[in-house]
Amino acid sequence: MASRGDTRQRIQDVALELFAEKGYEKTSLREIAERLDVTKAALYYHFKTKEDILMALFQSLGAPLDELVEWGKRQPRTLEMKKELLARYSQALQGAAALFRFMQENQATIKDLSLGETFKNRMFAMVDLLRDEDGSLEDQVRCATALFSIHAGLFALKDMDATPEEKQKAVLTVAQELIVAAHHGA
Amino acid sequence: MASRGDTRQRIQDVALELFAEKGYEKTSLREIAERLDVTKAALYYHFKTKEDILMALFQSLGAPLDELVEWGKRQPRTLEMKKELLARYSQALQGAAALFRFMQENQATIKDLSLGETFKNRMFAMVDLLRDEDGSLEDQVRCATALFSIHAGLFALKDMDATPEEKQKAVLTVAQELIVAAHHGA
DNA sequence: GTCTATATAGTGATAGAC
DNA sequence: GTCTATCACTATATAGAC
């Protein structure tokens, strides 16, 4: 049997592929169905609406980040923990590249689906774990920048001549520097 | 007369509003026309297609950044110039907040309209003005992060209790620090 | 669990009158 | 420069057979 109970998962896989490639709005259910070699109606058996597919994707892709935030909340708020959090975040991004591509491509859609809040909250939760509420404005910026530098860095180094490991290491170094600087300021 | 030759501009204004609010795809020409209290067909007098509206917006909003890049190219590549570039960029962002909101909301669309390349090139051109090609990977990351920290910082400080001027200053301080650090590394 | 067939509605775009 | 009217198309979604 080609398809067991994995059809739902296969739909998610193909949908992620297409949503990340051409955006949610521009991807039609017809396309998804065709690529899976099933019919549109079949999709409706597994998901009540097109939005449902998006929500399911969002949840399953975001889970690792949620776990990371949860992990962080259980730790003491030391400098070491913050450095470790950045390292884990950097690691998580490698696996979740699809999520972020997907998120970025579909920001507009995600926004008015309550998902926007969810995602923003996740980011803010992450920044909150890094920052000291009583720090200076500059230090707040350093903490936020530490997190985003991981994205910016990987983006900027995309065309550079180095191994992924070297790049990841360089990016993490800069991110952790920023956290250390913020910590000293406090 | 309510509308002179400013109709084209009014269309752009409303379109920007809507595109930034709910995304390009989800905004219909009907909506734009209704909000302007004209008919869909009237839009087609001023713009050949829906995409044309997007392109016009993109160009006029991006012009200040293009000018900044041009300015940068005419300067000697000193540390002082880089700090000044960041300051001007930070300044430009205040006025171009709409552009960036708009860009972020419509990434997916922008990508397959050649606009994606244009925008990416602009960003890369900016980073290129900041970085030293022979610097270490870490320094490359510092330069890219300097630029993006201006975005990240403003985002992170959004809910903070400070005046816009204070926030801008704090963000710029951190960005310039990163450039100085990269410069020392070289 | 997957199909065919269809309902319903909205889209971008065009032609041509005023 | 703006209108009415309409086109061709695609979309999401549903009903009901197999």
pLDDT tens-digit readout, B126-185: 999 999 999 999 999 999 999 999 999 988 898 899 999 999 999 999 999 999 999 987
Asked whether residue B89 carries a pLDDT value surpassing 70, the answer given is yes
Asked whether residue B81 carries a pLDDT value surpassing 90, the answer given is yes
Spell out which residues of chain B touch residue A134, defining contact as CB-CB under 8 Å. Answer: none
Q: Which CATH superfamily is domain A1-48 in?
A: Homeodomain-like (1.10.10.60)
Confidence of residue A186 (pLDDT cuts 50, 70, 90): low
Cβ contacts below 8 Å, chain A against chain B, sum to 130
Contact B156, A135 (CB under 8 A): no
What is the pLDDT, as a whole number, of residue B1?
46
What is the pLDDT, as a whole number, of residue B44?
97
* Every domain of chain A and the residues it spans: 1-48, 57-185
> Could you report the per-residue pLDDT of A93-140, keeping only the tens digit for each?
887 788 888 888 888 888 877 787 888 888 899 999 999 999 999 999
**Cβ–Cβ contact B164 with A under 8 A:** no
B114 vs B10, higher pLDDT: B10
Contact B17, B32 (CB under 8 A): no
Spell out which residues of chain A touch residue B107, defining contact as CB-CB under 8 Å. Answer: 23, 104-105, 107
Burial class, B36, CB count within 10 angstroms (exposed 0-12 / middle 13-18 / buried 19+): middle
Contacting A residues, span 22-61, partner chain B, CB-CB under 8 Å: 22-26
DSSP A103-141: HHHTHHHHHTTSHHHHHHHHHHHHHHHH--TTS-HHHHH
Q: What percent of chain B has pLDDT over 90?
A: 73
The amino acid sitting at A73 is K
What is the pLDDT, as a whole number, of residue A47?
94
Contacting B residues, span 91-110, partner chain A, CB-CB under 8 Å: 104-109
Contact B75, B81 (CB under 8 A): yes
Q: Taking residues A22-51, report their average pLDDT.
A: 95
Q: Taking residues A62-90, report their average pLDDT.
A: 96
Query: Tokens representing B157?
Result: 């400080």
Shortest distance, CA B35 to any CA of chain A (angstroms): 20
Is the torsion defined by CA of B46, B52, B53, B59 positive or negative? negative
What is the pLDDT, as a whole number, of residue B177?
98
Q: Taking residues B55-69, report their average pLDDT.
A: 93
Instruction: Please give the residue of chain B at the shortest CA–CA distance from A172.
Output: B138
Asked whether residue A3 carries a pLDDT value surpassing 60, the answer given is no
Length B48 CA → C15 C1' (Å): 15
> Could you report the per-residue pLDDT of A155-182, keeping only the tens digit for each?
899 889 999 999 999 999 999 999 999 9
Among A105, A147, A181, whose Cβ lies nearest the Cβ of B108?
A: A105
Write out the CATH class of domain A57-185: mainly alpha
Asked whether residue B69 carries a pLDDT value surpassing 90, the answer given is yes
Q: What percent of chain A has pLDDT over 70?
A: 97
Which of A105, A164, A158 is closest to B127 using CA atoms? A158
Angstrom distances, CA of residue B151 to CA of A179, A183, B147, B171: 18, 21, 8, 9
Which of B2, B19, B145, B81 is closest to A178 using CA atoms? B145
Burial class, A50, CB count within 10 angstroms (exposed 0-12 / middle 13-18 / buried 19+): middle
Query: Tokens representing A134?
Result: 């009583």
Could you tell me the end-to-end alpha-carbon distance of chain B, in angstroms, rounded to an integer? 62
Instruction: Please give the residue of chain A at the shortest CA–CA distance from B106.
Output: A108
